[in-house]
Amino acid sequence: MKVAVVGATGLVGGEILKVLAERDFPVTELLLVASERSVGKQMEFKGKQIKVIGMQDAIAAAPQIAIFSAGGSTSTEWAPKFAEAGIVVVDNSSAWRMDPSKKLVVPEINAKELTKEDKIIANPNCSTIQMVVALNKLHEELQAKRIVVSTYQSVTGTGVKAVEQLMNEREGKEGEKAYPYTIDLNVLPHIDVFQDNGYTKEEMKMILETKKIMGDDSIRVTATAVRIPVMGGHSESVNVEFEKDFTLDEVYRILNETEGVKVVDDVKNLQYPMPKDAHGKDDVLVGRVRLDETQPRTLNMWIVADNLRKGAATNAVQIAEYLVKQGLV
């Protein structure tokens, strides 16, 4: 299996390499692909040094799968060229997510929709992935009507520049800024660009992607996305109203049966999900599960996951694993 990682030198690209190695993905040849300024750079994979190549060379090398994490404009330009060459693209940008002709995949939920005809497969937004992993089985059994989510998102979701800004501010050093304001000891209710309706693009991603992944346009979703000075994972406060009545025991049973979810919920012993506990792990952690006492059939929960792993790299590699297992590549 010849695999290309496009955007290999970025934060998510590095995480993809780590996940491929950890999960022992059947790579016979790995192509590391990046922008022209990184071509020729050496990177390590499983103890071997590999030279970074450019886009055209990657296409010419004819990998079976290309995992893209190089931004929307790069994906818009290059993913179709890879696909035309018969290479299956798993794309981590927002470029193809809401394209009706492209599948938006979280393997635990809807990988079964994939076919050999799917040459560009979209990886969802990080904050959407962890929420739908936690909610989908509950939705299947209890029918979610309305979701209200507020996010508390790590600076790693923005990239290397944001991490450097946070650490520079923490150390009192001047440097390049990823955000319009200080992020250390601060909170920014602003992720991605503002839209005409007053929501940010990140909030609209969560609203639209949730319906597409869960395959139900009737679910009403509203979101507020917030950046906090944390590294290691995204957290979400989620309030869900269901059609069917339920008990907390039923909710815990469903969550414990949900693939990819780990319940961490023992408030008597101060056990609840935190970003530092999710860092470096693939589980979606769920806790603070409780009834909303203001209206019937409504649940509050707290959802945490490593945004670079399950929110990006791991989900993409899981899609690739499914393609291999099902003989779709």
Q: Give catalytic residue positions.
A: 126, 234
Tell me if 253 is assigned to a ligand binding site. Answer: no
Is 9 known to sit in a ligand binding site?
yes
Q: Count Cα neighbours of 88 within 13 Å in the Cβ-side half-sphere.
A: 25
Q: Which two tokens stand for residue 77?
A: 């330009």
Q: Where are the beta strands (DSSP E) in 161-200?
A: none
Tokens 């599960």 appear where? Answer: 289
| Burial class of residue 10, CB neighbours in 10 A (0-12, 13-18, 19+) | buried
At residue 98, φ and ψ (nearest 5 deg) are -100, 10
What is the C-alpha separation between 102 and 88, in angstroms, rounded? 12
Closest CA to 82 of 51, 61, 101, 102: 61
- For residue 148, the SS3 value is strand
- The answer on whether 153 is annotated among ligand-binding residues is yes
> What does the alpha-carbon distance between residue 288 and residue 134 come to, in Å, rounded to a whole number?
13
Residue type, 127: S
Q: Residue 223 is encoded by which pair of tokens?
A: 């979101």
Residue 325 · residue 113 · CB < 8 Å: no
Q: Residue 42, annotated ligand binder? A: no
Phi-psi region of 143 (alpha: psi -120 to 50; beta: other; left: phi over 0): left
Does residue 66 contact residue 58 with C-beta atoms inside 8 Å?
yes
Is 38 labelled a binding residue? yes
Q: Residue 307 annotated as binding?
A: yes
Nearest to 2 by CA among 41, 32, 37, 43: 32
Binding residues: 9-12, 37-38, 97, 153, 227, 307
Binding residues for phosphate: 97
Binding residues for NADP(+): 9-12, 37-38, 307
